[in-house]
Amino acid sequence: METFQALLARKLAEALVAADLPAAGGIEPATDPRFGDYQSNAALVLAKQRGENPRALAQRIVDHLAVEEWCESPEIAGAGFINFRLKVETIAARTAELLRDERLGVEKAASSKRIVIDFGSPNVAKPMHVGHIRSTVLGDALARIASFLGHDVIRDNHIGDWGTQFGMVIYGWKNFLDRAALAQDPIAELVRIYKEANNRAIADPAIREACRAELVKLQAGDPDNFGIWKECVTLSLREFEAAYQLLDVHYDMQRGESFYNDRLAGVVERLLKSEIAEISEGAVCVFFREIPDLADKPCIIRKRDGGYNYATTDVATVDYRIQDLKADTIWIVTGAPQQLHFQQIFEIARREGYGADFQHITHGSILGDDRKLMKTRSGENVALRDVLDEAVVRARKIVDEKNPELPESDRAEIAKIIGIGAVKYADLSQYRMTDYIFSWDRMLSFQGNTAPYLQNAYVRVRSIFRKAGEAFVPPAAIVLAAPEEKNLATRLCQFGEIVPTVLRDFRPNLLANYLFELANSFHGFYEACSVLKSEEPARSSRLALCELTARILRHGLKLLGIDAPEKM
């Protein structure tokens, strides 16, 4: 189903051709209701290009615009804007159409791409902490939205399961492992033995050497060390999986760094052979001398000691995703500090002749009350598990207060939906680059732009249908008499315009904003227009608006990875 925006853009393009003018400008939502529903700056753009009077050009365009089927006569305003006001019947007809559209007005992308999206990426033998929320939740939402838009999405968890820390972990495992503690809380025990080994290694060069020897043995394929490593990975993955279940985040594959291990030598050899890489100070490096910002920042792909590092792994990863997974585009979701690294990796890929589209999608940090990176009082990272558990506990307390008559099992389920939803939404409703201050009170508030507010709006709609006790039947006609009805219907028609914009710059917060505005419009409608007590044909028409609101709220939240409860 073509959106109003797309329809008007098409009509504008036709008018420009008919008026013998070049393509210019576009259609965007009006900035103010006084200016109608949509506006075009085409005349202003052309006026600049041609040095002509903008209002005269606007008139020339309007003379050729054939939009009377959908709009009141377009108006020329201000410096030369063309304003479009949709006819009420047009909105009503579109709303009726939306009711029959499974996609709720969201068209699939013109060309479907295979997208490999890399997000989350926790490290083995370390607990996931708050910092993982953003990458995980953002990547998941982008993957959901891309899939819905018809792309072929492969979700890959690039787990940090290989690296120098395993020397310490294995040494610790062999010397200080407490099996009972491991059974109790595997990752805590792995962290403990790692720290123990690390502390001793700092104090004692012999132990440092022993750790390094364990690492070398692991890398050489020693069966004992490999077995220990494998067990660490298995234990960690199990723990990650619990968090992913709670977050409702799922992957198509989990190719850890170790997966690429036997390809690293080939990568270096190939890059040397093609002279993309060279040897410098004993290390194999790629220089970017002709790129000013990177001129003094070489990328090391083999260390002087012959070892490989994460740059090597990431070059191999790009290879794999393009050659084996046939990616048209690769999205990597990580914090901003890795920006330089991926700039280098992508540049190497381009030099190797890869034409895929590479996107490093960065994000800001989660801060504590002190505006510094969120930490516990003792200065440790805050465990993800603790955050999620507390979210559910806090939500449960609120549900118990507000709705004590609900059965226990319902309240437990609702608390989970609200608590987890609140944490996710607090993240996604914000521009991804800004650092934000973590606040339980704000994210769990029922007021303002929060998950509970949206979930409550959904519950209110659903409650109407429970009360009605009848199955929804599409109405004979949509009637938009009250301004609140028209306002809500207009908003419902915009869903199809908003969803694709999210991928333009990877901004789920645009969808979150839309849903918030939709909930506002619904509440305005709800206060002004009684549904069940109204006379036909208003009653059926209003029920239809409720039904669509519920569908779009639920689906919009789902695209953000958030559930909507039936009661709360």
Of residues 123 through 162, those in contact with RNA by CB under 7 A are: 123, 160, 162
281 — phi, psi (to 5°)?
50, 35
Q: How far is the CB of 523 from RNA (least distance, A)?
A: 3
Compute the least distance from the CB of residue 402 to RNA, in Å: 3
Would you give the binding string for RNA spanning residues 503-542, x where CB under 7 A is met? -xx-x-xx--x--x--xx--xx-xx-xxxxx---------
Assigned token pair, 387: 């955050």
Can you tell me which of 62, 124, 538, 568 binds RNA, judged by CB under 7 A?
A: 568
Contacting residue, 13, 29, 87, 99, with RNA by CB under 7 A: 29
Furthest-apart CA pair in the chain: how many Å?
87
Residues 157-196 that bind RNA (CB under 7 A): 160, 162-165
Residues 77-106 that bind RNA (CB under 7 A): 77-79, 81, 83
In the set 13, 30, 265, 482, which binds RNA (CB under 7 A)?
30
Q: How far is the CB of 392 from RNA (least distance, A)?
A: 14
Nearer to RNA, 146 or 182 (CB): 146
Token reading at 46: 């052309």
Q: Is residue 273 part of the contact set for RNA (CB under 7 A)? A: no
The DSSP bridge partners found for residue 334 are 362
Alpha helices in 429-507 (DSSP H): 440-443, 451-468, 483-493, 495-502
User: Is residue 317 involved in binding RNA (CB under 7 A)?
Assistant: no
Q: Applying CB under 7 A, does 280 fall inside the site for RNA?
A: yes
Each residue of 164-183: b (16+ CB within 10 Å) or e? ebbbbbbbbbeeebeeeebe
Residue 359 has φ and ψ, to the nearest 5°, of -130, 120
Q: In the range 251-270, which residues lie near RNA by CB under 7 A?
A: 257
Check if the beta carbon of residue 556 is closer than 8 Å to that of residue 419. Answer: no
Residue 50 binds RNA, judged by CB under 7 A: no
Residue 353 or 379: the one with the smaller Cβ distance to RNA is 379
Query: Using CB under 7 A, which of the segments 13-21, 57-65, 308-316, 349-357 binds RNA?
Result: 308-316
Indicate the SS3 state at residue 81: strand
Shortest Cβ distance from residue 255 to RNA (Å)?
Answer: 13
Binding mask 453-492 for RNA (x = CB under 7 A): x--x--xx--xx--x-------------------------
- Total of chain residues touching RNA, rule CB under 7 A: 103
Chosen residue from 103, 192, 351, 567 binding RNA by CB under 7 A? 567
Interface residue with RNA, options 131, 307, 368, 537 (CB under 7 A): 307
Phi, psi of 306 (to 5 degrees): 90, -10
Position 552 contacts RNA (CB under 7 A): no
Q: Does 297 bind RNA (CB under 7 A)?
A: yes
Q: How far is the CB of 499 from RNA (least distance, A)?
A: 11
Q: Which of 41, 157, 198, 541 contacts RNA by CB under 7 A?
A: 41
Q: Which segment (29-37, 62-70, 132-140, 238-246) binds RNA by CB under 7 A?
A: 29-37
With 0-12 / 13-18 / 19 or more C-beta atoms within 10 angstroms meaning exposed / middle / buried, residue 262 is: exposed
Per-residue x/- mask for RNA, residues 358 to 377, rule CB under 7 A? Answer: ------xx-----x-x----
Q: Considering beta carbons, is residue 56 or 79 the nearer one to RNA? A: 79
Work out the end-to-end distance of the chain between its first and last CA atoms, rounded to an integer number of angstroms: 34
DSSP-derived 3-state class of residue 208: helix
Report d(CA 11, CA 18) in Å as an integer. 10
The single-letter code of the amino acid at 114 is: R
The C-alpha atoms of residue 462 and residue 458 are separated, in whole angstroms, by: 6
Cα dihedral sign, 182-187-188-191? positive
Q: Tell me if 399 contacts RNA by CB under 7 A.
A: yes
Q: Scanning residues 59 to 78, which ones bind RNA (CB under 7 A)?
A: 77-78
CB of 361 to RNA, least distance (A): 11
Closest distance between RNA and the C-beta of residue 511, in Å?
A: 10
| DSSP 8-state code for residue 149 | T
Determine, following the binding rule CB under 7 A, whether residue 325 of this chain makes contact with RNA: no
CA dist 357 and 546 (Å) reads: 41
- Show contacts with RNA in window 195-234 (CB under 7 A): none
Tokens of 34: 């006084």
Pairing of strands 329-335, 357-363: parallel
Burial class (CB in 10 A: 0-12, 13-18, 19+), 279: exposed
Our measurement of the distance from residue 252's CA atom to the centroid of its chain's CA atoms, rounded to an integer in Å, reads: 16
Contact code string over 418-447 relative to RNA, x by CB under 7 A: -----------xxx-xxxxx-x--x--xxx
Which residue do the tokens 């013998």 mark? 20
Q: Kindly state the helix (H) or strand (E) to which residue 84 belongs, with its residue range.
A: strand 81-84
